[in-house]
Copies of this chain bind each other. A is one copy, B any other.
């Protein structure tokens, strides 16, 4: 590497895969499992790191798995499933996870979850689940993120004060989007960082006030992490290193990323 290349790498943001996590089962201590995997695949954490973890392993550890054999589908779930070639038990789980149906159309269910997320199948996911089971979203993904943040902070920054936030944690899921094809990784749980960066009131290089610019950086961090978390490899976590988050002590949660009902133009 020459000087230019070295300087570029120093100014760069790095996305480091965390590999080597074993299959996660209900009751597993994923905080410890994550620490082991971080240790073997990346070494120590650094101040400013954001650790991104797919909700799938969080949900599994928290027992948010439903055995489809235990599900007794309602007549409505049966009818819909039959019309669109779906598993009626899976449809039943989706409906029971939904607080509101936003659209049911041609076999697709877009629903609101208890967290306020609007997404396909109310976040119920059959991929990467053992055969015959489905995985739900964590009950409180922000609490999960905060618990992981605490565990990692105690392990890697034992001297950090109670109000210090040396690292951030994001729990992710992949959501479809209105109007855009394909799914992207987004943040469902956030701890230690502010998921939004507010440029309002600041000025751009020509002095124009950036009036409407609130960036959902937790979603961008989640998407960035996905670039090393390919679904078919077992890499359920990543470290984003070198991103200078703003806000200092100011943190937020995944709920901050949910558009308030009164501002939702697509109910």
* Beta-carbon contacts under 8 Å, A201-249 to B: 202-208, 210-217, 219-221, 223-224, 226-228, 231-232, 234, 240, 243
A256 to B180 Cα, complex, angstroms: 9
**Copies of this chain, tallied across the complex:** 2
Q: Are the CB atoms of B9 and A17 closer together than 8 Å?
A: no
Judge whether A184 is part of the interface by a CB distance below 8 angstroms. Answer: yes
Judge whether A78 is part of the interface by a CB distance below 8 angstroms. Answer: no
Q: Are the CB atoms of A216 and B181 closer together than 8 Å?
A: yes
Contacts of A240 in B (CB 8 A): 227
Judge whether A83 is part of the interface by a CB distance below 8 angstroms. Answer: no
Q: Are the CB atoms of A265 and B108 closer together than 8 Å?
A: yes
Judge whether A59 is part of the interface by a CB distance below 8 angstroms. Answer: no
Question: In the complex, which of the residues B4, B185, B219 contacts A40, with contact meaning CB atoms closer than 8 Å?
Answer: B4
Known contacts A11-B16, A12-B14; is A220 also within 8 Å of B127 by CB?
no
Question: In the complex, which of the residues B186, B226, B260 contacts A215, with contact meaning CB atoms closer than 8 Å?
Answer: B226
Known contacts A208-B131, A231-B199; is A181 also within 8 Å of B8 by CB?
no
Judge whether A75 is part of the interface by a CB distance below 8 angstroms. Answer: no
